[in-house]
Amino acid sequence: MSRTVQTASEFVRVEVDSGIATIRIDRPKMNPLSIEVQDALAEAARIVTADDEVAAVVIYGGEKVFAAGADIKEMQTMGYTDMVQRASIIQDCFTQVARIPKPVIAAIEGYALGAGNELAMCADFRVAAADAKLGQPEILLGVIPGAGGTQRLARLVGVSKAKDLVYTGRMIDAAEAQEIGLVDKVAEPGEAYATAVEMAQRYVHGPAFALRAAKETIDRGLDGDLATGLAIEAMQFAGVFATQDREIGMTSFVKEGPGKATFEGR
């Protein structure tokens, strides 16, 4: 049975159904990510993180658009000192989404531009409809990406491709996005959400703490050098030996072979 949790904003809600949470952005017409929406996304991240019924998360902007960027009319009125105060908060809001300790998939229909693309990059995986458009067009406004676009993009697609997209501000289609590694799967138009949910279902009965450890190890390991990453891996690897799922998984493997364990998420 599904249930709906309303966050602090009327424009963002969390819907949970059969272990999968959907963070739904709903601010017509183009889902601009205003300050209110940014803060609400952070609240939504806290909600799905704290909910033990949630095994995986899908971020979705609806059938027409994922998010076409920040609220430019709102930003137009902001000066240097305003943005000095706000810029780190924007990044913190998106980082909370990136650090949801569960598999997260962005389902992209229509446009994922600017802050919309930066939000999508906070997910572990991105599914885009074949007719979707992605990009970082901030340079066309005389600014640069400020919610992780210069950093997460370069980590995903490499430095030169990231510079191409940031320097030119051009939009790319789903096929090119998949080719460079920005998108993981391309779906038929209108099918991005269903495809993302199907991907998320594989995690619903998975070993929750092992998945959490794997995500944190990969993400935090990439922030440092190899030696630091290996140290994080060793610590997390040892840690999952305290879980019941580790005992279940290994016992099942010995008795029945691989892939037959029924995990409990503990």
Q: How confident is the model over 204-260, as pLDDT tens digits?
A: 999 999 999 999 999 999 988 999 999 999 999 999 999 999 999 999 999 998 888
Which residues of the chain form CATH 1.10.12.10?
208-256
d(CA 126, CA 115) in angstroms, rounded, equals: 15
Q: State whether CATH 3.40.605.10 applies to domain 208-256.
A: no
pTM over 0.75: yes
Write down the residue that tokens 């503990």 correspond to: 266
Task: Give me the catalytic one of 10, 74, 109, 118.
Answer: 118
Superfamily (CATH H level) for 3-201: 2-enoyl-CoA Hydratase; Chain A, domain 1 (3.90.226.10)
118 is catalytic: yes
CA distances to 24, 112, 125, 164, 183 from 67, rounded to whole Å, are 11, 5, 16, 21, 15
CA distances to 175, 204, 211, 265 from 17, rounded to whole Å, are 30, 11, 20, 17
Encoding tokens for residue 67? 């998010």
138 is catalytic: yes
Decide if pLDDT at 152 tops 90. yes
Which residues of the chain form CATH 3.90.226.10?
3-201
pLDDT digits (tens, 9 = 90+) for 52-94: 999 999 999 999 999 999 889 888 999 999 999 899 999 999 9
Task: Give me the catalytic one of 15, 53, 74, 138.
Answer: 138
Decide if pLDDT at 114 tops 70. yes
Q: What is the mean pLDDT of the chain?
A: 94
